[in-house]
Amino acid sequence: MKIDLYAADGKKKGDVTVSGEMFDANINEDLMHRAVVMRLANKRNPIAHTKTRGEVSYSTRKIQKQKGTGNARRGSRSTNLLRGGGVTHGPTNKVNFTKMMPKKERRAALFSALTVKAKASEIFALELPKMDTPSTKKVVELLTKLPVDKKILFVLAAGTDAFAKSIRNLPQVKTVRANYLNPYELLIADKVCFLDASLPVIESTFLSKK
């Protein structure tokens, strides 16, 4: 399978061959959905927390004597039956939302996402621009020449620090290392740009060695 290749100056240079196993796989929507849910769940940071009767700042002294008052028995002031006491079954910040998926299913979901983007013509490759120092201005000029949309994802490889620093402050532009590519980042992007050096990294990382 081939995708468009653009030169470092933004002009279309030709095409580049990519793995059909990754970019022309069977589309499994269920696996993609589960991968996205897993990604969001693992990023979740629970902060809502209500105090139990053991955590509220109250004296543990018994409110009234056990018998002889004619009222119901009462324990400490921190009981959940009184105002200001502990909360029963409230949210806590100790909840674990972590989800897991088998390795083969994660890879199948990734290949499905890559195939969806490839069939929609929403991916292309780019030769790494030569940059000695970071320059956001040069990258902005380059983006005006590329077939980009509102949200663009750049897939980077090692040795692209100057380019990565040049685009990290641009709105609606995200970057991901090739060996950390995941379905969530792919699916939320309108366009996906693979630096030419990142394509071999993706294949060596996610394709099984036969």
Query: Hey, what domains does the chain have and what are their CATH numbers?
Result: 2-27+102-206 (3.40.1370.10), 45-96 (no CATH)
Q: Report the SS3 class of residue 2.
A: strand
Residues paired with 126 in a beta bridge: 6, 195
Q: How many CB atoms lie within 10 A of CB 173?
A: 19
Exposure letters 2-34 (e unless 16+ CB within 10 A, then b): ebbbbeeeeeeeeebebbeebbebeebeebbeb
CA distance 51 to 78: 10
Q: What is the pLDDT of residue 99?
A: 94
Q: How many CB atoms lie within 10 A of CB 195?
A: 22
Q: Measure CA 111 to chain center.
A: 16
Structure tokens at 154: 């750049």
| β-strand pairing of 2-6 with 12-17 | antiparallel
> Per this entry, what is the length of the chain?
210
- Strand order of the β-sheet with 191-195 is 12-17, 2-6, 123-126, 191-195, 152-156, 173-177
Q: What is the pLDDT of residue 1?
A: 83
- For 36, phi then psi, to 5°, come to -65, -45
From residue 79, how far is each of 38, 48, 56 by CA, in Å?
A: 38, 21, 9
From residue 206, how far is each of 98, 108, 112, 167, 181 by CA, in Å?
A: 23, 10, 13, 26, 9
- For the chain, which residues score pLDDT lower than 70? 209-210
- For 13, phi then psi, to 5°, come to -100, -30
CA distance 189 to 172: 9
